[in-house]
Amino acid sequence: MGLALEIARVLLPLVIVSGIAVFVVVRMKRKYKKGTLSKKKTKSAQNLLDSLIPLGMMVGCVVAVILSIFFPISFLTTMSWGSGIGLLFGYFAYEIYSKKRESYLPE
């Protein structure tokens, strides 16, 4: 019984994070095929929009490193959780920012 729980504890972050990644990739692929990927008018706004998902993953990894320093959690576990949750938050930020008007953004 102990071995099964240990295997489940190791594989659970991998399964959840891979589910998040598949969700994001499928949603972005669907938007690409429909032709509804967002385009901003200015180059700086478009660069920010294109960078939101990778930035979310990097912020998630940084938060994971900080959490693994202060709490007795495995570094690899926190890195997988951090990057997966960052990917999801980056996707949500992409969706929110793509719907905003850009009249207030500087060139």
What are the pLDDT digits (tens) for 75-85?
888 888 899 99
Per-residue pLDDT of 37-50, as tens digits, reads: 778 788 888 888 88
Would you say residue 106 lies in a domain?
A: no
Does residue 53 belong to any structural domain of this protein? yes
Quote the CA–CA distance of 11 and 2 in Å, as a whole number. 14
How many domains does the structure of the chain reveal?
A: 1
Q: Which tokens belong to 13?
A: 């972050």
Indicate whether 104 belongs to any domain: no
The answer to whether position 93 is within a domain reads yes
pLDDT for 106 equals 54
Domain membership flag for residue 105: no
- Please report how many Cα atoms fall inside a 13 Å half-sphere around the Cα of residue 6, on the Cβ side: 3
- Please report whether residue 107 resides in a domain: no
Contact 57, 90 (CB under 8 A): yes
Task: Indicate whether this model's pTM tops 0.95.
Answer: no
Could you tell me the end-to-end alpha-carbon distance of the chain, in angstroms, rounded to an integer?
61
**With contact defined as beta carbons under 8 Å apart, do 65 and 78 qualify?**
yes
* Rg from Cα positions in the chain: 17
Give the rounded distance of the alpha carbon of 89 from its chain centre: 5
pLDDT of residue 9: 82
Mean pLDDT, all residues of the chain: 86
Question: Does the residue 23 lie in any domain?
Answer: yes
Q: State the alpha helices, DSSP H only, in the chain.
A: 2-34, 43-70, 75-99
* Residues of the chain under the 50 pLDDT cut: 103, 105
Containing structural domain, residue 53: 2-99
